[in-house]
Structure formats: structure tokens, C-alpha cells
């Protein structure tokens, strides 16, 4: 995926559309089905909650980096953070998760539209990528939702067989 400003915006928009269709079309009985058996053993709803937390926290991180911050601390424990945030947000309804994602992704798109190419080059520490440019953090947001969507599809379609 190219990482110039226009391509990043287009990628965010296309991914937003794909994610919204995916969530709307997901059968009700899938939302509470377990997808991961290791670690936190997340259900589809947990994964959607996690995606929403990432959609909120990564733009916050990017804004912090643009203001001169370093990003997450070097000793940041991503797994512990993710598990605690998913637990804290437990109980959200399907519709709430869909609305949160749509709203937050829209805000992320507006943020990127307001950024210059030079700002996209600012570097900070991302919780998964390590030290990287803001443009890579944005690109990762699309990759992140795509990967989780594919994992859910693969796991649950296999379970239906």
C-alpha cells in the first residue's frame, strides 16, 4: 500500500467501508463465538472491541508524536494493555461497536486530511512497529483491521463446516 497522504486517506476510507459491511453482515451468532484459543481467548466481540480501542488510541498517539512526544514507552506491554482495554470496554452492544468504529475512523480520516506530508514523516514509538513514521502508523491501522477481519472470517467459516 503506498503511503503518500492521498493513498493513506483512500486506504482508510476503503477499509472503513469494508469493515462496516463486514460488521453489518455478520450473523448475530458469530459475535460471541471464540476466535482465539490462546492468550486472552477473545471472541469476535472482543476483537471488535480491541479494534475500536486501537482506532481510538493510535490517532491519539500520532497527535502526541506530532506535538514532539516520543510515542509509547520502550517497555510498553502491548498484550497487557490490549487485554485491560478489552475488559474495560466489555458489554458494548454490536450496534455500539459499529457506531464507535465508524465515528472514530471518520475522525482519523479528518486528522490525516489535515496533516502535511512533512507531519506524516514524524517519528515516534508505535506499540507494535516500534520506532516509525506517522504514515506507517496510519498504514498499520488499515492492516490491523484487515488482519483481524480475515482471522475472524477464516476461523468462523471453518467452524461452520
Distance CA 130, CA 23 (A): 30
pLDDT in tens, 62-118: 999 999 999 999 999 999 999 999 999 988 999 999 999 999 999 999 999 999 999
- Residue 1, pLDDT score: 61
Cell triple for 105: 475512523
Please tell me the CATH code under which domain 5-160 is placed. Answer: 1.20.120.450
- Residue 152: name the closest of 44, 48, 46, 51 by CA: 44
Q: Give residue limits of the domains in the chain.
A: 5-160
Amino acid at each position: 500500500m503506498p503511503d503518500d497522504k492521498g493513498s493513506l486517506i483512500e486506504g482508510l476510507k476503503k477499509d472503513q467501508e469494508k469493515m462496516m459491511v463486514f460488521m453489518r453482515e455478520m450473523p448475530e451468532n458469530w459475535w460471541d463465538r471464540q476466535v482465539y484459543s490462546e492468550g486472552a481467548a477473545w471472541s469476535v466481540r472482543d476483537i471488535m472491541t480491541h479494534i475500536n480501542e486501537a482506532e481510538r488510541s493510535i490517532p491519539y498517539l500520532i497527535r502526541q508524536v506530532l506535538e514532539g512526544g516520543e510515542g509509547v514507552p520502550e517497555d510498553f506491554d502491548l498484550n497487557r494493555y490490549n487485554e485491560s482495554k478489552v475488559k474495560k470496554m466489555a458489554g458494548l452492544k454490536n450496534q455500539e461497536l459499529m457506531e464507535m468504529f465508524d465515528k472514530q475512523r471518520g475522525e482519523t480520516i479528518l486528522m490525516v486530511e489535515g496533516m502535511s506530508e512533512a507531519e506524516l514523516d514524524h517519528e515516534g514509538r508505535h506499540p507494535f512497529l516500534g520506532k516509525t513514521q506517522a504514515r506507517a502508523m496510519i498504514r498499520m491501522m488499515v492492516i490491523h483491521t484487515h488482519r483481524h477481519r480475515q482471522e475472524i472470517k477464516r476461523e468462523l467459516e471453518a467452524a461452520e463446516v
